[in-house]
Structures are given as structure tokens and as C-alpha cells.
Structure 1
Amino acid sequence: MTHPLSEENRALIERLLGEMTLGEKIGQMTQAEKNSVRRGDVARLGLGSVLSGGGGSPKPNTPEAWREMVTGFIRESLASPVGIPLLYGVDAVHGHNNVVGATIFPHNIGLGATRDPDLVRRIGRATALEVAATNVRWDFAPAVSLPQDLRWGRTYEGYSQDPALVSDLAVAYIEGLRGEGWDSPTSVLPSVKHYVADGATAFGTSTRVNRLGVTLDHTLALARTGEGMRSLLNQGAWQIDQGDSPIDEATLRSVHLPPYRAAIEAGVLNVMASYSSWQGLKMHAHRSLLTDVLKGELGFQGFVVSDWEAIDQLHPGDYASCVADAVNAGVDMVMVPFDYERFIHTLRAEVEAGRVSGARIDDAVRRILTAKVALGLFERPSTDEALLSLVGCPEHRAVAREAVRKSLVLLKNEGNVLPLSPDLPALLVAGEAADDLGAQCGGWTITWMGGHGPTTPGTTILEGLRRQFGHPARVHYVPNGETSSRYPVGLAVLAEEPYAEGMGDRRELRLSPKHLALLARVRQQCDRLVVVLLSGRPLVITEQVPDWDAFVAAWLPGTEGDGVAEVLCGAAPFTGRLGFDWPLSQADVARTATSQNLWKIGAGLTPVSGEIPPLSPTP
């Protein structure tokens, strides 16, 4: 799709290119993390972008403080000699998820289960409004990955294993971020990621972390992963993420490329390159795929941004070659979170030595300026401060509740135990996750890895159940399931530990011993057992599910636990359908032509429960 820039705007871009020095052009190609940026450097170096990494929040972490922080960077960029407005970026992957108080929507795996493009479009619009309220105009989303090995820690970032469904939902989200037009005051630039075939990486091919330790990894050291890191490595962390995709070209083109084609046809102006490799060649150095296919064959007119410190992996110990190879391959803006001056000096030296051409630099900067002009940043570098009232507003939380309701997938329901009868004299609720907002949000929530407890405002599943039953005393919450009482129905809420990226890679996908012990206790004390699983992917439950009367895959629903309770209690119907195959055994977690499944894509029950009562309001 040709982006409809006016002749006046095209002339502006060419004029700026003609007036800029080489240093100013390289500045536009540089993206630094906000915690590393020294006062005055945005203006001195003409930096093109600043980002907040996962958890890169101001203190205090409030929408107002976010806006003040971002506005300061923008104001400084306008004071640079070239005066080009800065573009601030964040990982708003399920709402403006770094900001305390923002609406946190279900992760993409849950949205895929809704199969509802209109809903995803509205989520994109709500996210854009909350992001723009803080003066951020760039969202590192949507991920259009098609995860093939469920052990991958980014599985929940994928909508589905169906390329057509991924394309439809990605385009809807892009349309939501765009709103009335890219140049509208509340449009937010999407970053379609991670190009390409990151979902096809093979187990055991990741080289991100030395198996002997992580002391040389600056990012993980800053994340304070601590003593638990060795345990996670033993469980399979950093075995898949950023690894190699060994698939053939036909599979790459038929399965993994279509969402990018659809996104480009929808007018996207940014794509993020993947850490991963294809057949042994790192994507950040893959000129054929970045330049020939993406920019040539697909006609992409926007700019390619690297992932966090990703170019450093191309030639460890030879930074100049890392820089030259990435830029020559087609990376236009480089995310250098820690040492941006090193990148600037290195790229300048490579240009002056003739290893990177001036034409390649001009092409990169032209693409970056095209996106900034398209967003209207030159006319309106700041958004309306009144938008702050929309962050976490009731209207957006209502959309999130709708998304939660539509994302739940009912996979077993013996005797129609669900929806729960309003006449139950008492309901046993067990599992710490039932009252754990952090667990139901998952990773990429306030911090990179996410966390437990009330990390941000919202409602838990337990709170929602108490509201639905009307009499809180009828909902008996026993976190560990230890009770001497007998119940007609017991509801156990289980959850994966929060994780993100390669920290969530696992050798096996199974319920933990703690989960199994909880289930055994609850089963003994109830006539019928309902299990709700909060997870970023299907887990192998083939041996356990025969002992359950009902099973609900609730994914990672976000801050609106009311939505889960509403469906469990019949205030809204089950309508979700699996977007992923559910593996039968551990041998089937990596999807192949011979994999066996407990349930296939599209599975999901819709019990008939008579008239649906109206939804109760959230206080």
C-alpha cells in the first residue's frame, strides 16, 4: 500500500535530508532506553527515538508522571539543531501495560480465542488512547507470531496457529491504533513483529544465555533474575526464544509471511526484526528477507527497527561488523538501550570507511521521517493532556471485560456443571491464583516478567465470583484447598508463574506438584470439580482431565477478573474457541504433521443454560 503523503510532506522530508549532517542522520537512526539517556543528549545528538523497556517506568509510576517524562524528551528533541520531533516507544502489548492504573487486556492468545476482529479493533483503539494520553505514539505491537512449539515463552504473544486468523486480528488491531488516520492526534504507530518466523524456532537452538550462567548478559542482570535463574535454566529457559527456524522457504512464505503482507496492505509503517535466525542466518543480517522481500517484494515503505540490543549478536566481539551488517541488511533504526554513543560513533566510522553507503543512510532516515510525518508529529508533537482521564477509564475496562468473557474456552462440562447454579448453597474456591491479579495478567505487566498480587488496579476472579453470587459468605475461599467441609461444587484456579520471552521457555508443559496436590485436596471435598487454568499456552493435562467435571482455559485475562466470573456464573455465555492445538502428550507440544491433540484448533463448548441474565455493573 502506498502511503498517501502529500507532495508538501514529501518535499519536507527531502528538504530535511538535504539539510541534515551525517551525524544528525545517524542520530535519527538511534533509539536509546530512557534510563540510559543523559540529560541534554537528545538535543546534542538529535536522537530519533527513546523507549521504555519492560518496566522502564518513571517514579512514581502514574499516568501523569509518564506524560511528564515523555514530554520532557519530546521537548528536548525540538530544541536540537535539526528540530525533528522524537518518537517515544513502549511495549503496550496488552494495553498500556507498563503503567499502573492502565486497562490491561487479555494477552493475544486469549484474543485469538475470541475470533472477533471488531473487538480487537476496539481494544486497539482503547490502547491507543491510553498510550497517546502519556504522549507515547509508538507501540511495539502487534506480535504476529505463529508459535509452533508451545514450550516457547512467547506463545501467549501469538493470536493463533492459523495464519488467516492471525492476519485478520493483526489488521484489526492496527486499524484500532490508527483510528481516524495516521495523522490524527491519537493515532499510535504499530510495530509489527517479529519479522519473520520467530514462531518456528526449534528447541535447543537459542544461544542467548550461556548454560553456565548469565553474568555476561547486561539485560538479565538488570532484571535481577537472581538465584532462581539457574533453576529456570534447568527447566528450559532460553532454549527456544531467539533461536533458529529451520523451516523451508515454502513454509516461511505460506505460514509466517502472510500476516506481514496483510499488515503492509493495511498501511503499517514499522516492522521489528526478530532476534531469531532462519536456516542459520540472523534475521538482523538477512538482507534477502529484510530488503529484497519486505521492502521490495512486499512494497513496505516504512522503517525496520531492531530489537533490544539485537545487532550485538551478529558478530560477538566485532561491534563494527554488527553495525555495518545490520544497516546494510535493511535495519533502519537500531535499538541500543545502553551505549547509544558507541553505536553513533561506530556507524559514522563505517560510513566514512565506505562500508555503509550514504545512500543506505538516506534511505533509512527517509523511511523514519516518513513515519514521523505520517503521524503528524511535525504539526502536533504533543497530545492533549485531557486524554489522561481515559487511562483505565470505565469504558475501556468494559471493553476488557467483554474480551475476557469472549476469550474463555470451555473444553469439558460433564453434567452441565457450568454455568454455576445460582442456587448453590456454597461454592468452594481454591487456589491462590483465584485472588491474584498479577497471576491473571501474566508477563509484560508493570514489569518485564510481571508479578504476583495487586500490581495494578483491577478485579480478581474471586472478587468477581463474590459479586456474582451476591452474598460473599456463600463463596468459601480456601487458598490451599484444605477444608473439612463438603461442597456440591469446588472450583480450583490454577496458574502458570508469570514470565516473558525466553525466561518462559520450558522443557515440559505440565501442572506443578503444588497444582496436583491442590486438586487432590479439593476433589476429596467436593461432589463436582471445576478447573480454571490461567496460562500463556496449553499445558499437557491428559492424565488429569478425566477427574474433572469441567475445564475452562482462561489464558491470561488481564485486570478484569469480573469477566471470568460472569461467564462461570452464566451472566454471559461461553463462546471462545481454541486458536491453538491442545497437545495430547509432551511429545506433541512441538507442532508437526504427526502431532496428536487432546483438542484441535476451533474446539470449545457452548452450554445451553436458558435465558442469559443482564451483566452486573462493576462498582
Structure 2
Amino acid sequence: MKNVQIKLLLSTLFITVVGCSKEQSEESYVEKTADAGVKLQYNIDIWPMLDIPVKQDVVLEKKIKDILSTMTLEQKVAQMIQPEIRDITVEDMRTYGFGSYLNGGGAFPNNDKHATPSDWIKLAEDMYQASIDDSIDGNSIPTIWGTDAVHGHNNVIGATLFPHNIGLGAANNPELIEKIAAITATEVMVTGIDWVFAPTVAVVRDDRWGRTYEGYSEDPEIVREYSSAIVKGLQGHPDKDFLGDSRVISTVKHFLGDGGTEGGDDQGNNIASEQELFDIHGQGYVGGLTAGAQSVMASFNSWHGEKNHGNKYLLTTVLKDKMGFDGFVVGDWNGHGQIPGCTNDNCSQTINAGLDIFMVPTDAWKPLYENTISQVKAGEIPQARIDDAVSRILRVKLRAGIFDKPSPANRAVSGKVELIGAQEHRDVARQAVRESLVLLKNKGNILPLNPNANILVAGDGADNIGKQSGGWSITWQGTGNENSDFPGGSSIYAGFENVVSTAGGNIELAVDGNFKTKPDVAIVVFGEEPYAEGTGDIDNLDYQRGNKADLALLQKLKAQGVPVVSVFISGRPMWVNAELNASDAFVATWLPGSEGEGVSEVLFSNPDGSVNYDFKGKLSFSWPKSAVQTVVNRNDENYDPLLPYGFGLKYGDDNVLTDDLNEIVTKGEIKQELILFQQAVKAPWEINLSSGEHTEQVTSSIVELPAIKLKTMDKDIQEDARTITFTGEGKGSVSLRSNFVEDFRSYAERSAAITFELRKEQISSARVMLEMHCEKDCLGKVDISEYIGSMPINSWQKLSVDLNCFIQNGANMARINQSFVMSSEDEVTLSFANIKLEINKADRAVINCQ
């Protein structure tokens, strides 16, 4: 079927974009073998020659050539290597003189989540000074620091966190977006950082994608305009304040088509025609590049089976040659290692394709550096390609004034910590929250609420800044945070409480809905748990599939005669027909960030009953009619959503949704496997470490207890595995733990096994137990020592264990609260990845008890 789809799509590849010449030369068409062996014929005339406002300057270009002429091959390759702060030291920077470095999501100076702005500045200053120290490498070119500031300076405690992109798309206000970007640039510059990996300009076509909330819209119209606005906000306008003292280098990402992969599969395959690739997925680059963006990040995804990190046609022929981009192309997290024939530490193909900077976290940076030098010397990588890449890096650094600006600790706004989370910044964020809210239902005009009323606030999202902020909030996945991790921020409930108390009304917070005094109305705040790339991928849009706890809460309140206003937190539109039916009003609040107070300013009227702020938000993503309507986009041939693109009620509008929406889940959605850990732990599970009687939730990439240590590692992609070291200092364990019991009986009844990949790091005869725990101290243990003892060293092996083995040893599958526990009292280091329950695997399990 896939081959047929590709052949049909290929028939559209010769359509020319409006405005291109009708007379196209034969050179416009280049045959390329795509996936499934189909000959893909490129048409370069589809792509425009952009009028990029930042022109090459003769004086600057001479400086580039002069600097380049003094550099050794080793110095040039070092400019192309971007390691991560957890994997290099200041001395490494002094020795090699890397052109740049980054902090990934959840990486902090000194591995301290609560690092202060001063800690960030010190690291920036130390790295800068080491980079210009030529005593070892002979190189004095300043380094630059890149960071994922995707909705504010989101890695730094106390920073202003704006709504995620999906909410900003609903606001559809480019002027506001430019303000947000400018504020973000300022807060980033306070910490001495030069470069931001934003904006994301993905046009999301399948809402199952775990990065849906990083897209502004399913339609390229908003994306193109926003891309321009954000680049101008981050970098300044090309004709004024361009890359000035409070501006940063921006990165338009991810090139190209990441929002259009089959099945919404993160890092998957996009099979759009070339015309669609430009018309839909290329528009953000038109907007961003014509605003002067200086960096583009290559995407993890493939286009017709070819990984973009190695696609010379896209990176060089289209982006650089035709569109005229003269900045640099940076890779994504070890994305080069995914190219066939490449590894994280060896990949000439991506440089030859047009990548200028390897993003190479982990300790692969050193062999990659050495291998690249060897490949240039052997002629595998042309010297001209290296010179081009380094010229681009130098061009951006010179344009940004990196050679002339003071060191990071001495720049204009560096150290002005009062700008981190400044009130005027939070005011703009609160405006963004107000304008992003979309009113889907307002039966009987129950909204706005009078603050003089008796209000109940329920739901686990009400007083939870971490949940309302979503992924990329302090930690990479946005998990493991408490309200105290967002000083200066406000939860949604805090905003309600302030409004109601000021007006003289009564308000009660009861997460479970068990009120003391019957309220006039209940506001229930609920929704998705935080997640980021990969982890957020789902297979359909049914909210709380198999565990309708929030629906039960809504229905309980309705049964008690309490009107219900639902405030739904989510990173995508979801199938919530039952929840809509149980609500008198329903507000899509998306992921509003740290300023939850903005929600109250819209939901509540003034004390005299007049409207305070009306709803402005309109759906920039169509709302699904069924759980399996995952691909529903404006201008589709058979467009039939529950609520269309652009929908959004204002106060006084007629209500549209009834209380009898179809609640039947489409048949055929039987889950063949339950993923517990894949790249990251899946909700509702959390990773915990135990050492003796002490248990600690894992909220960072490195955790050390006396009996056990854990760190993230890269197996296939970024941080998709965990390495655990049992020290032998007492009993240690790693577990996937939930605050709620889970019913695994259906999996046991369908002959399921728990499967996972395991690697042994050294020879060991340690005794290792695999366990499942249930409430009230019940558990089932299985000894996996013999299997581990027989494993080869440093080789990934798949282990499967029949669920019956745990049942026979005491586990109650109806009440599981720790789905995977590995424990030992001996010394051994193991790595694990991809933990699942898989049906019909028990009789073929490595360890079975049939």
C-alpha cells in the first residue's frame, strides 16, 4: 500500500509553484531513489529565490576569508562540533575550541536543576574565556551557547513561561508574538547565552504527533507570519537593532516536514509531494528566512525514506543554493547518527549533504571530531565543504558581533537578574494566556462567572503550574516539577482565588470534587500530563483512554446538581465528547505556561457582571469528531471535524454543541501493546530510585543514591535509555511507579509478557530481581540473574517475562502501582530501554510460566 501511495504522490511532483517560470529546464528535475525503490524526481523550480534582507557585506566577507586562512584543519572541524554541557568540561573547551555548545532540555550548570542565573552566567563566561584561550589549540575564536528557549527561557528557574505554540496559534496575533520573542531574547541574554533553538515552524497534519503543541497551526498561513515575527523579536529587525545587545541568534526548525510524518510518528517519514512540502511545510522558512534568520536546524524526519540530515537536495540545493540561505545549518541531537551507514561518532555523509554543525551530545564528540579530520585528509569530505561550513559559522558570529561584544558576564543585560520573570514580561505572558483561550461550549451563557458566587475548583490541573506549562518547562519532559519550581508564576487556581476573594465571593479547592458546601458552580481543571518529543506520541485521540477518571469527576458533580465549567489543559485537540457532554461550558486552555492567572481574567466577569476580557482565541487546529479522526485539516477534501478550524465562541454567541455527542469509541482500537517506557517514562508512570528505605523520584538526567545510580543514555536516539549502577552498598532498585493503581488483568488474560531491552555493561554474577508491585504491599518477583549472567557484554538483548510468573508469585494484576521494578544488592551496571506489555507473547517469552 505504501508503494502505491508514493507513486500517486509522485504524479504531483511536476506541478510548479505559482509565480515560477513555465519554461523549466531539464536540469530542474533530478532523479533520486526514494523509499521502496521508487525514483523520486526533484523539481527545484518549485522553490523560490528569497529576498533575504541580511545581505553579504564585502568587508565582512574579507574578514571571514582572513580568519579562515589562518586556521588549521583541526581548528575548522572544532568549529563544526557542538557538544552538550553534561559531556564536556571547561578544559575540553580550552583544548579543542568548539565553535558552539548547548544545554539540552533538562541540562543545567553543575547538574543543578535549581541553578541560579549567576550559575548560568558563570558557565557561559568560563566557556567563553576557555574558547578564546589559544594556549593549547592556537584558536581564539569565541564560542557560542545554544539553548532550547521555546516558550520563554524555559530551562531557567524563575523565567517567564509563555503559552506553548499551539495556544499562541489560537491567539493569531503576530504583534504579540514578536513581543514574546523579544522578551525571551532579553531573558536569555541575562544569562549570557547567545543563541536560541526557536522558532519551531512545523505545520502539524496528524495530531497524534507528540510535538503537536510545538506547532502554531495545522495550516501554513499562521506559521509563515509567526515565523517572521518571532525571528524579528529574537534577532531584531534587519534594518534596526539587528542582533543587538538584547537580541539572540534564532534558529528556524526543523528542516523540513517534521509535522507531516506518517501516523504522526516523531522522527518518522514524510511522503508529501515536493509541491506539498513547499506549500505546507516550507512556508515557515519563507517567513523566517526573509526576516533574516541566521540558523536553520535539520530535522530528524525523513522525506520519502531519506533522512533529512543526509539529504543534500534539501539542505544544499534547496535551502542554500535556491532559497539563498547563507547562515549555518545545525543538526539536531545526534541526528547525523540516524543516517544509514553513520553512527553518532562517524558521519561524513551529513557534512557532504550540507550540515555545517554536528549537534553531538554524549561522549561521541571526541571520536566524531577525530574521524571527521581523518575523512577530510582522506578526501572523503572535500576541504571546500569544510571551508564553506566554517565560513558560514564565522559569518553568523561576525554578524552577531560575537568577536566584538564583551564576554558573556560583561554584556549589556548580563546579570540583570531582575529581568528574569520581570513583571512587565509576565504581563505580556498573561495577555497571551487570555488571547489563547478558546471557548468551545457555553450552554445557557454560564460564562462569564460572577466572582461573588460560591465557587468550587476541582481537578488535578487546578493548582499545578507544571501541568499547565507542559513539556520543555524546567525539565525536558516537563515532569518532576512542583509549584515552587516556578517562583513568580501563578497556577490557574491561584488566579481564581485572587479574583473571587477580592470580589467577596467564596472559593473552595477540592481536587477530588468532594466539597464542604454545595457550590453555585464547579470549575474543573484537568487534562494531559506533561510530555515532550517522542514521549508524547499516541495512537488515537481518546482522552484518558481506559481510565476515565476526569470524566467520572465531571459526571459526579453533574449528578449532584452542580453546573460544571471545564478548563481543559492539552497539547493538542482531543476526542472529549463525553467530557463535553458532562460540561455546561468547556474551555480549551492549551498549555498556558507560568501565568495561570490569565485564565481567571477571562472566565470571571467584573463584580457588576460586565465582561472583563472576552474570548479572542480561535481554533488553529480542527477539533476531532472521533478518537480516530487524527488527520483532519482545513481544506481537506472530506473535511468533517466536530468543530472547524477558526471556531471559537465569544460571550453572547449562540452555543453550538449539544449534550448528546456520540460517546462510542470507534471499534477496532484494541491496544496490542502498552508502552511503559519508550525514550522516556509514559504517564502515569514515574521513574523512582530506592536505596534502602529512601525513595526518590527521578527528575533529572543524573541521580545518585548510595545503593544505586541512574543516568540517561542514547541507544538509538536522544536519551532513549537509562543506565543504572547498583553499587553493592545495600539494596537498590529502579521502578516505574504510579500514584494510581492500574488494572493489567486484560493483558494477563490475553497472554501478555513484559518485554524490554537490556544491556550488561560488565561481567557480573550479581543477583537481580524483576518485580511488579501492587497496593497493600503485594508483589510478584522473578529472578532474572541467570539470564543476565548469560548475556554478552555491551550488547542489547530483548528479555520477555510472562505476566503469569508475577501472578504465581503474588502479584494482583488488578491493582498494579509499580509496573517494572529491577533490584539488586550486588554490584552491577545495566541499561534498559523500551519497556512494554505485549499481548500473545507469554508462551514465547524468554521466561514463561504457562
Pairwise same-fold verdict (TM > 0.5): yes
Taking the aligned partners of 1:250 and 1:4, their CA distance within structure 2 comes to 28
Is the 1:443–1:498 contact (alpha carbons within 8 Å) kept by the matching residues of 2? yes
> Per the alignment, in what secondary structure is the counterpart of residue 563 of structure 2?
strand
- Report the counterpart of residue 62 of structure 2 in structure 1: 11
Is the 1:95–1:102 contact (alpha carbons within 8 Å) kept by the matching residues of 2? yes
CA offset at residue 484 of structure 1?
Answer: 6.4
> Per the alignment, in what secondary structure is the counterpart of residue 244 of structure 2?
coil
Taking the aligned partners of 1:318 and 1:335, their CA distance within structure 2 comes to 13
Residue 599 of structure 1, aligned match among 637, 643, 646: 643
- Which runs of 4 or more aligned residues in structure 1 lie more than 6 Å from their structure 2 counterparts after TM superposition? none
Residue 306 of structure 2, aligned match among 277, 281, 286: 281
Is the 2:554–2:579 contact (alpha carbons within 8 Å) kept by the matching residues of 1? no
- Report the counterpart of residue 531 of structure 1 in structure 2: 566
> Per the alignment, in what secondary structure is the counterpart of residue 434 of structure 1?
coil
Deviation track 1:267-313 (CA, whole Å, cap 9, x = no partner) reads 11100000000010000011001100011111111110000011111
- Report the counterpart of residue 397 of structure 2 in structure 1: 372
Quick check: 1:440 aligned with 2:468? yes
> Per the alignment, in what secondary structure is the counterpart of residue 461 of structure 2?
helix
Taking the aligned partners of 1:317 and 1:82, their CA distance within structure 2 comes to 29
User: What is the root-mean-square deviation in Å for CA atoms of aligned residues?
Assistant: 1.7
Is the 1:464–1:563 contact (alpha carbons within 8 Å) kept by the matching residues of 2? yes
CA offset at residue 34 of structure 1?
Answer: 0.6
Is the 2:501–2:507 contact (alpha carbons within 8 Å) kept by the matching residues of 1? no
Deviates more, 1:251-260 or 1:174-183: 174-183
Deviates more, 1:26-35 or 1:449-458: 449-458
- Structure 2 letter corresponding to 1:541: V
> Per the alignment, in what secondary structure is the counterpart of residue 64 of structure 1?
helix
- Structure 2 letter corresponding to 1:123: I
Quick check: 1:580 aligned with 2:607? no
Deviation track 1:174-211 (CA, whole Å, cap 9, x = no partner) reads 111113433411211111111101000112xxxxxxxx
**Structure 2 CA distance for partners of 1:266 and 1:432, relative to 1, 3 Å:** same
CA offset at residue 316 of structure 1?
Answer: 5.7
Quick check: 1:245 aligned with 2:270? yes
> Per the alignment, in what secondary structure is the counterpart of residue 492 of structure 1?
strand
Is the 1:533–1:555 contact (alpha carbons within 8 Å) kept by the matching residues of 2? yes
Residue 97 of structure 2, aligned match among 46, 65, 69: 46
- Report the counterpart of residue 414 of structure 1 in structure 2: 443
- Structure 2 letter corresponding to 1:397: R
Is the 1:487–1:526 contact (alpha carbons within 8 Å) kept by the matching residues of 2? no
Structure 1: 5+ residue runs without aligned partners?
A: 204-238, 610-619
How many residues align structurally?
Answer: 572
Quick check: 1:323 aligned with 2:347? yes
Residue 357 of structure 2, aligned match among 333, 356, 373: 333
- Report the counterpart of residue 780 of structure 2 in structure 1: none
- Report the counterpart of residue 429 of structure 1 in structure 2: 457
- Report the counterpart of residue 468 of structure 1 in structure 2: 499
Residue 513 of structure 2, aligned match among 474, 481, 490: 481
Taking the aligned partners of 1:54 and 1:511, their CA distance within structure 2 comes to 26
- Structure 2 letter corresponding to 1:72: D
**Structure 2 CA distance for partners of 1:526 and 1:120, relative to 1, 3 Å:** farther
Deviates more, 1:39-48 or 1:251-260: 39-48
Q: How does 1:173-572 map to 2 (within 5 A)?
A: 173-179=230-236, 180-203=240-263, 240-315=265-340, 323-338=347-362, 339-380=364-405, 381-382=407-408, 383-384=411-412, 385-424=414-453, 426-451=454-479, 452-454=481-483, 455-457=485-487, 458-470=489-501, 474-483=506-515, 485-512=517-544, 513-570=548-605, 571-572=612-613
CA offset at residue 485 of structure 1?
Answer: 4.2
CA offset at residue 453 of structure 1?
Answer: 2.6
% identical aligned pairs? 41
- Structure 1 letter corresponding to 2:66: R
- Report the counterpart of residue 79 of structure 2 in structure 1: 28
CA offset at residue 595 of structure 1?
Answer: 4.8
- Structure 2 letter corresponding to 1:297: K
> Per the alignment, in what secondary structure is the counterpart of residue 34 of structure 1?
coil
- Structure 2 letter corresponding to 1:456: F
Is the 1:577–1:604 contact (alpha carbons within 8 Å) kept by the matching residues of 2? yes
- Structure 2 letter corresponding to 1:15: D
Taking the aligned partners of 1:532 and 1:253, their CA distance within structure 2 comes to 36
- Report the counterpart of residue 213 of structure 1 in structure 2: none
CA offset at residue 32 of structure 1?
Answer: 0.4
**Structure 2 CA distance for partners of 1:7 and 1:389, relative to 1, 3 Å:** farther
Residue 170 of structure 1, aligned match among 227, 230, 233: 227
> Per the alignment, in what secondary structure is the counterpart of residue 554 of structure 1?
strand
Taking the aligned partners of 2:254 and 2:340, their CA distance within structure 1 comes to 20
Taking the aligned partners of 1:443 and 1:314, their CA distance within structure 2 comes to 27
> Per the alignment, in what secondary structure is the counterpart of residue 170 of structure 1?
helix
> Per the alignment, in what secondary structure is the counterpart of residue 432 of structure 1?
coil
Is the 1:488–1:526 contact (alpha carbons within 8 Å) kept by the matching residues of 2? no
Which structure has more relative contact order (CA 8 Å, sep 6+)? It is 1
> Per the alignment, in what secondary structure is the counterpart of residue 590 of structure 2?
coil
> Per the alignment, in what secondary structure is the counterpart of residue 308 of structure 1?
coil
Is the 1:145–1:194 contact (alpha carbons within 8 Å) kept by the matching residues of 2? yes
CA offset at residue 587 of structure 1?
Answer: 2.3
> Per the alignment, in what secondary structure is the counterpart of residue 501 of structure 1?
coil
Is the 2:253–2:298 contact (alpha carbons within 8 Å) kept by the matching residues of 1? yes
CA offset at residue 23 of structure 1?
Answer: 0.4
Structure 2: 5+ residue runs without aligned partners?
A: 1-51, 606-611, 654-850
**Structure 2 CA distance for partners of 1:319 and 1:393, relative to 1, 3 Å:** closer
> Per the alignment, in what secondary structure is the counterpart of residue 537 of structure 1?
coil
Quick check: 1:156 aligned with 2:213? yes
Residue 143 of structure 2, aligned match among 86, 93, 99: 86
Taking the aligned partners of 2:596 and 2:603, their CA distance within structure 1 comes to 11
Is the 2:86–2:107 contact (alpha carbons within 8 Å) kept by the matching residues of 1? yes
Taking the aligned partners of 1:78 and 1:517, their CA distance within structure 2 comes to 61
- Report the counterpart of residue 215 of structure 1 in structure 2: none
CA offset at residue 5 of structure 1?
Answer: 4.9
CA offset at residue 342 of structure 1?
Answer: 1.0
Deviates more, 1:453-462 or 1:107-116: 453-462
- Structure 2 letter corresponding to 1:470: S
Is the 1:104–1:559 contact (alpha carbons within 8 Å) kept by the matching residues of 2? yes
> Per the alignment, in what secondary structure is the counterpart of residue 642 of structure 2?
strand
Query: Which has the larger share of strand?
Result: 2
Normalising by structure 1, what TM-score?
0.90
- Report the counterpart of residue 706 of structure 2 in structure 1: none
CA offset at residue 333 of structure 1?
Answer: 0.3
- Report the counterpart of residue 212 of structure 1 in structure 2: none
Quick check: 1:139 aligned with 2:196? yes
- Structure 1 letter corresponding to 2:142: P
Taking the aligned partners of 1:412 and 1:578, their CA distance within structure 2 comes to 13
Deviates more, 1:522-531 or 1:442-451: 522-531
